[in-house]
Amino acid sequence: MKFVASSRLRLFGALLLAVTLVVAAALTATSRAGSVNTGVGVQITPHVLTAGQTGLITIKFLNSGPSTVTHVSATVTQAFLDANGNVTGTAPLPLPAGAFTGFTLPPGCSVTGDTSTVLTCDIGQVPPGPVRRVISFTAPAAVTPFFVHVSATFDEGKNTGLVDTVTGDDPFPFSIASSADTTKKGQCTALGSTLTATDTDQQTQLTYQALPSTLLPCTPVSAGVAPGGPNNVAHFGKVSFVDFLDGAGLATVKIFFLSPPKGVTKKNLALYELPKFPIDLTATDGGAAVPPCVTVNGSLQIPSGSDFVSCVVSVDTLSGGGLVATLLARGGNDSGWGGAG
């Protein structure tokens, strides 16, 4: 999720600044073999991870029924995408085998390769419903950004001989940040925490609660400040981004503007969402500003029925100059079927 901020000067209506909040959600592909509907998804989280920190690769196979499928086997690789997001080819993950050392693989899962790897999970028989496999790894010192891809084969059982393959991709790229990089950070923690990333004049701070341990072994999050902005809103040229999953309530995001442009005040600062940053730079609702939070049963919430995944709590002036915007934000989905699925 990413935020873009701008100042709306009352006299001219000029947009001078842009910040963004982006939610990451994986797409899934579905197929039909005979009379059985199936789908598979994969997600690597967080999408920005600091070297040396723990990341997660989650496979989710969904059997929509009506019958049980058997011999389900899922293989995870990297995908090469064209400009439209279509897969043009696959190859082993650019993660060394050592990245998976120290973690217990789920039953039936294995890692093959040395400097690059392929993950395989023999899931077996799946009755109607979803099954998940979560694989932990440690981010190496450096890797070229990449996309993850999953291919799952299965048959319908009952000696039908109907074998099919379904595929899925995480549409958001995965990248590793140096441990010395203050502008973008990623981690996976057992408890809730606060993660802060900053550059010389803008700072992003994410405060989050832990996901249930029955869902994931740790809570993956990232935060950062990056150049860019929406393609349908005038902006200042930087985005503040956070990346986290739904399932632990609303998170608090603070964006600090340490040196705002002249004329930008707490009264005219506006924030915009880029819900699919960095793969799509279109701001939510045609470039409408993030709405203020509303009070429901004594608690601040995102307005019901809103297209936004965040709301503004306040904009305040910093004691040493500058501004800080405080927002509540809802996380993205887990592999296309919901964070608590």
> In terms of domains, do 37 and 160 share one?
yes
In a domain? residue 43: yes
Residues 156 and 210 in one domain: no
Burial class (CB in 10 A: 0-12, 13-18, 19+), 10: exposed
Q: In the 8-state DSSP scheme, what is residue 99?
A: G
Whether residue 323 sits in one domain with residue 185: yes
CA distance 132 to 20: 31
Q: Phi and psi (nearest 5°) for 140?
A: -70, 180
- Which positions ≥6 away from 201 have C-beta within 8 Å? 257, 258, 259
The answer to whether the CB of 85 falls within 8 A of the CB of 279 is: yes
Q: Is the pLDDT of residue 275 over 80?
A: yes
In a domain, 57, yes or no: yes
The single residue listed with the structure tokens 């887990």 is 334
What sign does the CA torsion over 124, 91, 81, 183 have?
A: positive
Highest mean pLDDT among 47-61, 215-229, 231-245: 47-61
Q: What does the alpha-carbon distance between residue 211 and residue 13 come to, in Å, rounded to a whole number?
A: 41
Residue 284 lies in a domain: yes
Alpha-carbon distance values, 319 to 254, 261, 323 (Å): 16, 17, 9
Q: Tens of pLDDT along 142-153?
A: 899 999 999 999
Token representation of residue 213: 């341990």
Residue 334 lies in a domain: no
CA atoms within 13 A on the CB side of 284: 26
Residues 140 and 189 occupy one common structural domain: no
Residue-level length of the chain: 341
Task: Tell me, yes or no, whether 66 and 198 share the same domain.
Answer: no
Specify whether 196 is located in the same domain as 78: no
Average pLDDT over residues 207-217: 94
Q: Are residues 184 and 213 both part of a single domain?
A: yes
266 and 324: one domain?
Answer: yes
In a domain, 201, yes or no: yes
Q: For residue 338, is it within any domain?
A: no
190 and 132, same structural domain? no
Question: In terms of domains, do 201 and 65 share one?
Answer: no
286 phi and psi angles, rounded to 5 deg: 65, 20
Q: Is the pLDDT of residue 21 over 80?
A: no
Reading the block at residue 59, the tokens are 């496979």
Contact 162, 173 (CB under 8 A): no
Domain boundary among 156, 171, 186: 171
Of 166, 145, 144, nearest to 154 (Cα)? 166
The DSSP string of 221-244 is EEEEEEE---SSS---SEEEEEEE
Domain boundary (151, 171, 191) is at 171
Residue 117: domain span? 29-171
Average confidence score pLDDT of the chain = 86
Token pair in block for residue 238? 């930087």
Q: Reply yes or no on whether the pLDDT at 264 is more than 90.
A: no
Position with higher pLDDT, 269 vs 182: 182
Counting the structural domains of the chain, the total is: 2
The rounded distance, in Å, linking the Cα atoms of 61 and 36 is 13
Count the alpha carbons within 13 Å of 126 in the hemisphere toward its beta carbon.
Answer: 30
pTM, two decimal places: 0.88
Q: Which residues pair with 50 in a beta bridge?
A: 177
Pairing of strands 48-50, 175-177: parallel
Domain boundary among 171, 205, 225: 171
Q: What pLDDT shows up at residue 157?
A: 66
* pLDDT of 83 higher than 90: no
CATH number, domain with residue 76: 2.60.40.10
The answer to whether the beta carbons of residues 322 and 256 sit under 8 Å apart is: yes
More confident of the two residues 10 and 268:
268
Residue 337 · residue 330 · CB < 8 Å = no
